[in-house]
Structure formats: structure tokens, C-alpha cells
Amino acid sequence: MLSVTARAAKRIRAIQEAEGHPVPRLRIEVKAGGCSGLTYDLTFAQEVREGELVFQSEGIELIVPKKSLLYLVGTQLDFTEGLEGRGFHFINPNATRTCACGTSFAV
């Protein structure tokens, strides 16, 4: 349903350790905002809340609220370092349009 690449998992673990989070557990939400209408929100999570689903990928727990899952089915989280910038990037087959900076999308 939702996955991370090996590069993204490595970066998530590095940030987790640097910030002192006890478990590699990442909450991925879709919220209203950005120039295309929807934006991704990534945060480390201490617990799973009611109404959230948990997926495992590359040793990382991905927590997704049910409301966000509709927008994220089949999405892969990647991490890149290159000429176009450094950071996490979503490969979302549901996105029909993305903004120029790549931080928001539409379905």
C-alpha cells in the first residue's frame, strides 16, 4: 500500500537517531495546503492513534490516518541528493498535478 526506498529508510533512521526518537515510526498525512491544493506532512510518531493504519517497509513503521490513505495508496517515499535538491520525495501514482517545487499535489 505504502513504501519507502532503502535510501529513504536510511535517512529516516539517521534523523531518528540524531533527534533521539526511540522507534523508526513515521506518520505520513495529507493536509490541505500548498499551491496545488494538498501537501504531505511527515512527523515522527510515538504511538498509533485511533483511526490510523500501520504499514512496514524497509524496517520503518509508516502510520497513515485513514483519511490520508485514499491519497497515498501505492505511494513510495524516496530520498535523493542531487543537483535538483536534497530531501524526501513522494512518488505518488494518484497525483494528477504537482507544483513546481514538488511539495504539494492534486488528485
pTM (2 d.p.): 0.84
Over residues 90-106, mean pLDDT: 71
Domain ranges (residues) in the chain:
2-106
Q: What is the pLDDT of residue 1?
A: 80
Round to whole Å and give the CA distance between 6 and 21. 19
Cα 78 from chain centre: 9
CATH 3.40.50.2300 at 2-106, yes or no:
no
**Lookup: cell for 2:** 505504502
Question: What radius of gyration, in Å, describes the C-alpha atoms of the chain?
Answer: 13
Instruction: List pLDDT tens digits, range 27-84.
Output: 999 988 776 678 889 999 999 999 999 999 999 999 999 999 988 999 999 998 877 6
